[in-house]
Chain A
């Protein structure tokens, strides 16, 4: 059971656009939930974020003039809500990722690999350990980098769209994305999940005969 949303105030919003809202909700809730889940890394926080997003969308619906795509508008509301929610909860500092920290300093570090050789990404992700490693790596990213990576590489938006949603220019989006990818790469490869580990796992189902 999730707690009721928030303490109440005196200014109710009249439900004059509920049909429109229902359509908006029906058509986009799965998209926004997926985004929220990727950002938050867990179900309850993702549901809170969906609720916050659609509540704000409901209130803003009458002002939405259709200059942006509806999905872009919703991604923007969700992203802002996510920034606020997390800040409120943890007060976590926004760590900056410096490119320097990703320069390999040894031959071994250079040659770390992600263990998907010979497999399609779908097949590789059938491995629970790799899936969890990926989730953990994404969750460890400082949130503004995580948001950039999720929007660009997981939701599949263009750098320009990500910039519109996050209020950044394309150059900053690309720079953040690059650092986020390097971070996840290092996390995944440094865990030392090897092909051997894959084969010995019970849940490992080699989808192909490439190994």
Chain B
């Protein structure tokens, strides 16, 4: 608990004042979350955000759900074309190209 408290105290000095955990104004933190999970933030800002997240359960859950969203997207599967569909499409394209269909 004390650890959490001191993290909170540190965070209150370094995190933009608009963020008030529990009251829902997190715009400045929110803006940076994709860069944070993509590991694109400069190390000082990243460390600051990490400190904050460690002290804010709401943000921690929010970030986890954003990460899960990205993971789901990157594992999204699409049913492939069958060999027949592939061949049919090719014919249609070649026919259309011969008939000079406008772009």
Contacts and interface: CB of A to CB of B under 8 A. Distances in A.
Given A18-B94, A105-B24, A114 B100 contact: no
Given A104-B24, A104-B26, A25 B69 contact: no
A130 to B, nearest CB: 8
A103 B30 contact: yes
Interface string A24-41: 010001100110011000
Given A99-B27, A114-B68, A178-B33, A13 B97 contact: yes
A83 interface: no
Interface of A is mostly: helix
B32 to A, nearest CB: 9
Contacts, number: 158
B84 to A, nearest CB: 12
Given A5-B92, A103-B24, A114-B68, A154 B74 contact: yes
Interface of B is mostly: helix
B92 to A, nearest CB: 6
B73 to A, nearest CB: 4
A99 B102 CA distance: 40
B73 A149 contact: yes
A95 interface: no
Contact of A185 (B35, B65, B79): B65
Contacts of B35: 174, 178
A116 interface: yes
Interface residues of A, number: 66
Nearest to B62: A110
Nearest to A2: B92
B86 interface: yes
Contacts of A188: 65, 69, 72
A84 B92 CA distance: 20
B1 interface: no
B76 interface: yes
Contacts of A189: 65
Given A18-B94, A189-B65, A29 B89 contact: yes
A99 B30 contact: yes
A6 B69 contact: no
Interface string A169-196: 0000010011001101100110000000
A106 B58 CA distance: 10
B101 A9 contact: yes
B97 to A, nearest CB: 5
Q: Lowest 5 A-B CB distances belong to which pairs?
A: A178-B34, A12-B100, A121-B75, A114-B68, A153-B73
18 contacts: A5-B101, A8-B100, A9-B101, A18-B94, A37-B79, A51-B92, A51-B93, A104-B58, A106-B24, A107-B22, A107-B24, A109-B24, A110-B59, A114-B65, A114-B68, A174-B34, A178-B31, A189-B65
